Amino acid sequence: MNIELKYFTGTGNSLKVLNTCRKIFESHGHGTKISEIDFNDDYTVEPDIIGFCFPVYAFGIPRICRKYLKSIKKFSHKQKAFVIITAGDAEESGFSLMECRKLLLKKNCELIYSGVIQMPVNWITSPAPPFTPSKDEAIETIREGVREAEKIAANLINGVKIFHKFSYPKRYTRYRFYMDYLLFKYIGVKFLWRTFRVYDTCNGCGLCSRICPTGSIVIKNKKPACTSTCEQCMRCANFCPENAIYQLHGGDTKGKNRYHEPEFFPVKKICDDLKVE
Ligand SMILES: Cc1cc2nc3c(=O)[nH]c(=O)nc-3n(C[C@H](O)[C@H](O)[C@H](O)COP(=O)(O)O)c2cc1C
Ligand code: SF4
Ligand code: SF4
C-alpha cells in the first residue's frame, strides 16, 4: 500500500506520532510519504490511505488544519483516511476528531480509524494547568505515546477499526467546556496574537521568526512582533533561547518548563548555531 502522512505540529509531538506509525508501516513493506500540510497539496497521485495527525487546541483542531481540510479536493472515489489527534490529556480531545470526521466526509473520505494519543503539554502560555512538563515527565509521556502510536499503526495494518469520536473532559463543567471551545475558535485564535510580548531578555536573534510554521513573526528594530496568522502553536515560546516570549492577560512564561519533542528541531541549522536545546 501507498500511505501518505500529513501533519501540523508546533513542538513536534504530532510529527513524532506520525513518524512512529511510518516506521511500522515501512517495516511491513508499505510505501510511505510524510510531509507537513501544505495548501498546494493536490493528491493527484492518489494514495491507498491518507493519515493525518494534528494537535488539539482548546477541544478543537487548529484553525490552519480546519482550513486545510476544507481546502483539499473532493475525491472522486471513496478515499481511505485515518486521523490521530495528539493531546496534552487523552481525556481532553473534545470535538477535535468530530471536526476532522465531518470535514473529511465532505471530501468523500472513508474514515478507517480515529484515535487520540496523549503527549506532553506544550501550551506554555496557558494560565491554567496542566502546565508544560519537566524533561523527565516529558520523556515518560512520549514513551507511552510512542507505544500507543505503534499500536494504532499495527491496528491499521491489521484492518482493526476503532473510532474515537468525542471526549468530554471530566474536570470541566459542560458550560465551561463549550465556552472554552467556542471562545478559542471564534475569538481566541483571532485575538491572542495581539497579546504576544517579549521580556527584556530578548536579544533580537530572530530564531522565533525563522522557525514559526506560519511565518507570523516579523522582526522590527531587533524585536519580534506577532501577526494575525499566528495559530498559537507555541513553537516560538518553547524554543526561544532566552525564554523571552510571553502573552499578556495571564500568559506569563517566567519560571515555566520549556517543552518540545527532544528530536524536533524545526530549522536545525539555526537552532544549532544558537545552541538551542
Ligand atoms: C493553544 C493550545 C491549546 C491546547 N488545548 C488542548 C486541549 O484542549 N486539550 C488537550 O488535551 N491538550 C491541549 N493542548 C496541548 C496540545 O494539544 C498537545 O501538547 C499536543 O500534543 C501538541 O502537539 P504538537 O507538538 O504536535 O504541536 C493545547 C495546546 C495549545 C498550544
Ligand atoms: S527567539 Fe527569543 S531572543 Fe530571539 S528574537 Fe525571538 S524572542 Fe527574541
Ligand atoms: S507566532 Fe509563535 S505561536 Fe504563533 S504560529 Fe508562530 S511559532 Fe506558533
35-59 confidence digits (pLDDT tens): 999 999 988 888 999 999 999 999 9
Is 186 inside any structural domain?
Answer: no
Residue 139 carries which side chain, given as an amino acid letter?
I
Cα 145 to its chain centre, rounded Å, is 14
**Residue burial 92-105, b: 16+ Cβ < 10 Å; e: rest:** bbbbbbbbbbebbe
All three cell numbers of 149, joined, read 502510536
Instruction: Let me know whether 94 and 229 are in one domain.
Output: no
Residues 148 and 211 placed together within one structural domain of the fold: no
Q: Is the pLDDT of residue 215 over 90?
A: yes
Is 171 within the bounds of a domain? no
Q: What residues line ligand 2, using a CB cutoff of 6 Å?
A: 198, 202-208, 224, 240, 242, 244-245
Give the distance (Å) from ligand 3 centre to CA of residue 26.
Answer: 32
Q: Which helix (H) or strand (E) holds 197?
A: strand 196-198
User: What is the percentage of the chain residues whose pLDDT exceeds 90?
Assistant: 91
Pocket test for ligand 2, best of 198, 236, 246, 254 (most atoms within 8 A of CB): 198
**Shared domain check, 142 and 228:** no
Query: Domain total for the chain?
Result: 2
Global pTM value: 0.97
Same domain for 145 and 58:
yes
Q: Which atom of ligand 2 is nearest to the CA of 245?
A: 7
Domain-embedded: residue 168: no
- Residue-wise pLDDT for 93-105, tens only, equals 999 999 999 999 9
> Which one of the ligands is nearest to 245 CA?
2
Range of the domain at 224: 193-273
Q: Is the pLDDT of residue 165 over 80?
A: no
Residues 20 and 139 in one domain: yes
**Single-letter residue type at 45:** V
108 and 211 co-located in one domain:
no
- With 90 as the cut, is the pLDDT of residue 167 above it? no
Determine the average pLDDT of the residues in 190-214: 97
Q: Is the CB of 59 under 6 A from ligand 1?
A: yes
State the distance from the centre of ligand 3 to the C-alpha of 206, rounded, in angstroms.
Answer: 13
What is the pLDDT confidence band of residue 260, given thresholds at 50, 70 and 90? very high
Average pLDDT over the chain reads 96
The three grid cell numbers given for residue 152, joined into one nine-digit string: 494504532
Q: Vertex 116, ends 115 and 121: CA angle to 5°?
A: 165
Same structural domain for residues 198 and 129? no
pLDDT in tens, 226-258: 999 999 999 999 999 999 999 999 999 999 999
Non-local CB neighbours of 190 within 8 Å, separated by 6+ positions: 228
pLDDT attached to residue 36: 97
Question: Is 10 close to ligand 1, i.e. is its CB under 6 Å away?
Answer: yes
What is the rounded (10 degree) CA torsion for 101, 107, 109, 114?
-20
Q: Identify whether residues 144 and 73 lie together within a single domain.
A: yes
Q: Is residue 188 part of a domain?
A: no
Q: What is the identity of the amino acid at 114?
A: S
Question: Of 236, 239, 253, which is best to mutate to test ligand 3, by the most ligand atoms within 8 angstroms of its C-beta?
Answer: 236
132 in the same domain as 43? yes
Inter-CA distances, 167 with 91, 94, 160, Å: 6, 5, 21
Tell me the β-bridge partners of 219: 224
Q: What is the CATH number of the domain that holds 215?
A: 3.30.70.20
3-class SS of residue 205? coil
Residue nearest to atom 4 of ligand 3 (CA): 230
Q: Classify residue 162: in a domain, yes or no.
A: no
pLDDT at 164: 84
Residue 67: name the closest of 196, 216, 185, 226 by CA: 185
pLDDT score recorded for residue 172? 87
CATH number of the domain to which 73 belongs: 3.40.50.360
Domain identity same for 99 and 222:
no
Do 131 and 197 fall within a single domain?
no
On whether both 38 and 148 belong to a single domain, the answer is yes
Residue 75, in any domain of the structure: yes
The pLDDT value given to residue 166: 81
User: Comparing C-alpha atoms, which of 57, 116, 59, 107 is closest to residue 85?
Assistant: 116
